[in-house]
Chain A
Amino acid sequence: MVTVSALLSEHPPAESHHHAPEGWIRKYVFSLDHKVIGKQYLGLGLVAVLTGMVLSWIMRYHLAFPDKPVPLIGLIAPTFAAGGVITPEFYLQLMTMHGTIMVFFVLTTAPFAGFGNFVLPLQIGAEDMAFPRFNMMSFWVTFVAFVVLVAAFFVPDGPPLSGWTAYAPLSAVGKGAGPGEGLGQSLWVVSIGIFCIGQLLGSLNFIATTLDLRTKGMTLARLPYSTWAWFITAMIGLIAFSVLLPACVLLLLDRVAGTSFFIPAGLVVSDAMQPHSGGSPLLWQHLFWFFGHPEVYIAIVPGFGIVSTILPAVCRKPHLGPRVLIACLLAIAGLSYMVWGHHMFLSGMSPTSATLFSVPTLIITIPAAIITLLWLGTIYGSKLRLTTAALFCLGFVSVFVTGGLSGFFLSQPSIDTYLHGTYFVVGHFHFVMGVAAMFGIFAGTYFWFPKMFGRMMNETLGKWHFALTFLGVYATFMPMHWLGLEGNVRRYSSFPADYMHGSLALHRFITFAALFLGAAQLIFLVNLLWSRLRGPAAPENPWEATTLEWSTTSPPPFDNFGGVHPVVSHGPNEYGVASPHGDYIMQIDPPTAAPAAA
Chain B
Amino acid sequence: MIVQRSIPSASATRTGVWVGIGAITMSFAAYTSAMVVRQGSFPAWQHFMLPSILYWNSLVLVVSSGTLELARRRIGGPFDRLGRADSLSVERLRQRLVWLWATLGLGFVFLAGQYLAWHSLSAQGVFLATSPSSSFFYVLTAVHALHLLGGLGALAYALHCLRVDDGPHSVHVLGAVALYWHFMAVLWLYLLVILALWV
Contact = CB atoms under 8 A, between A and B. Distances in A.
Interface of A: 15-19, 32, 127-128, 130-134, 200, 203-205, 207-209, 211-213, 238-239, 241-243, 245-247, 249-250, 253, 257-261, 277-280, 282-283, 286-287, 290
B135 A15 contact: no
Contact of B128 (A131, A203, A208, A253): A253
Interface of B: 1-6, 8-9, 11-13, 15-16, 19-20, 22-24, 26-27, 29-31, 34, 37-38, 41-42, 44, 128-129, 132, 135, 139, 143
A213 B12 contact: yes
A169 to B, nearest CB: 14
Contacts of B41: 278, 280, 282-283
Contact of B16 (A15, A19, A204, A287): A204
B5 A19 contact: yes
A134 B9 CA distance: 14
A172 B26 CA distance: 24
Contacts of B9: 130, 212-213
Contacts of A280: 37-38, 41-42
A425 to B, nearest CB: 26
A127 B27 contact: no
A132 B132 contact: no
Given A16-B1, A132-B6, A280-B38, A200 B23 contact: yes
Chain B contact residues, majority secondary structure: helix
A261 B133 CA distance: 10
Contacts of B44: 277-278
Given A238-B23, A250-B34, A280-B38, A212 B11 contact: yes
Given A132-B5, A209-B12, A212-B12, A246 B135 contact: no
19 contacts: A16-B3, A19-B5, A130-B13, A132-B6, A134-B16, A200-B23, A208-B12, A209-B12, A211-B12, A238-B22, A242-B30, A246-B31, A246-B34, A247-B30, A258-B129, A261-B34, A280-B41, A283-B34, A287-B34
Which of B16, B41, B42 lies at the interface centre, i.e. has the most chain A CB atoms within 10 A of its CB? B16
A278 B16 contact: no
B16 A130 contact: yes
Given A211-B15, A279-B38, A133 B27 contact: no
A290 B29 CA distance: 12
A9 to B, nearest CB: 20
- CB-CB nearest 8 A-B residue pairs: A258-B129, A242-B26, A130-B12, A278-B42, A212-B12, A18-B5, A243-B30, A242-B27
A355 B5 CA distance: 52
Contacts of B22: 238-239
